Structure 1
Amino acid sequence: MVKSFQGERLLEPKTPDQPILVSDHMSTNLTTFHPDDTIDHVIQVLTHHRISGAPVVDDANNLVGMISEGDCLKEIIRGKYNNTPRMSGTVKDYMTKEVITLDRDISIFDAANRFLTLKIRRFPVMKEGRLVGQISVSDIVRAIPLLKETTW
């Protein structure tokens, strides 16, 4: 009979003692646009803030769409072919109206899976039907090195 002199081993429980939820890594100080904003204004704001897209909200601050650099390109091309010097299109003409959102309480791993599956670069984050933030692929990528392997 062999006896162990190491004593009883206790396994460390895997407790999520670190931030792994979307709410822990989302941006909350959002740049937003109104459906009546011009594409020219959107381009100026996106380039000034060095972002590639943002939520669109109505007068009651309800999420009604998303606008991105790609949407702005559509107006740029239209202006080129119509030989218009200024971009006169509005956000409501080019925004994505059927917006897929994420709940703030899902894990960043579930969010990462949705980014890959849906091929979307950013999601508005909702709580009880209200816009509370936005999470992007970059936010997820920046979060991963901060996680400890014991909670995976």
Structure 2
Amino acid sequence: MAIKSFQGARKQQFVNETITLKVRDYMSTNLITFKPNQSVQEVVEALIRNKISGGPVVNDRQELIGIISEGDCLKQLSESRYYNMPLKHDTVDKRMATDVETIDGNMDVFDAANKFLQSKRRRFPIVENGKLVGQISQKDILIAALNLKGENWNSTTKKSS
């Protein structure tokens, strides 16, 4: 014999639930990367073709060894004109920045936003077990914030149970 419940409808209860938006959920993983032995001319062509402002430099084991940016390429262009050296003769390893600050993929996106503000950087690579696995940009952080729809900026929303 089945027992039926004759309880009435329950009122919706609101429970504070902390939603943690992680960097890894918003990072780009399909990255355009560069090799240290590539010519700066190839980098410039790739930056223009892909409408990006820079990218990570990795070795053959996909380990992050630097970042090359439009600014690095512009500096090389300026110097190449002065010294009359074409772009194709200079390589990424001579122009890339090697002091690369990374960010943890498990970091909360709001903490990452603060890190962006403090560092004045436009993007951070994400490295796991020594390998480049992604990159987070300021735009990615804005997308994460929009996903909350501005309801509550401390990552806590009211959700019915």
TM-score, normalised relative to structure 2: 0.81
The number of aligned residues is: 143
Contact 2:76 2:87 in 1 (8 A): no
* Largest Rg, 1 or 2: 2
Contact 2:53/2:70 (<8 A) preserved = yes
- Counterpart position of 2:16: 13
- In structure 2, the CA distance between the partners of 1:129 and 1:121, relative to structure 1 (3 Å rule), is same
Match of 1:76 in 2: 77
Taking the aligned partners of 2:146 and 2:12, their CA distance within structure 1 comes to 29
Q: Which structure dedicates a bigger proportion of its chain to strand?
A: 2
Q: Does the 8 Å contact 1:75/1:87 carry over to 2?
A: no
The reply to whether residue 33 of structure 1 matches residue 59 of structure 2 is: no
- Structure 2 CA distance for aligned equivalents of residues 137 and 107 of structure 1: 14
Say if 1:76 and 1:87, in contact at 8 Å, map to a contact too. Answer: no
Q: After TM superposition, give the deviation of residue 11 of structure 1 in Å.
A: 4.2
Instruction: Go from structure 1 to structure 2 and tell me whether the alpha carbon gap of 1:99 and 1:13 turns closer, same or farther (over 3 Å shift).
Output: same
Which whole-Å CA distance do the structure 2 matches of 1:117 and 1:124 have between them?
16
Name the CA distance, whole Å, in 2 between partners of 1:38 and 1:87.
5
Query: Where does 1:78-93 land on structure 2 (aligned, <5 Å)?
Result: 78-93=79-94
Pairwise CA distance, 1:85: 4.3
- Measured against aligned partners, the alpha-carbon deviations of 1:73-132 in whole angstroms (never above 9, x if no partner) come to 111101121233444211111111011111111011111111111111111012232211
Tell me: higher relative CO, structure 1 or 2? Use CA pairs within 8 A at least 6 residues apart: 2
Q: Distance in 2 between matches of 1:9 and 1:29?
A: 42
SS at match of 1:135: strand
Give the share of equivalent positions with the same residue, in percent: 45
* CA deviation map 1:40-74 (0-9, x unaligned): 00000111111111110011211101111111111
Structure 1 segments unaligned to the other structure (5+ residues): 1-7
Aligned to 2:96: 95
Q: Is the 8 A contact 1:53 1:69 kept in 2?
A: yes
* TM-score (normalizing by structure 1): 0.85
2:38 is the alignment partner of 1:46: no
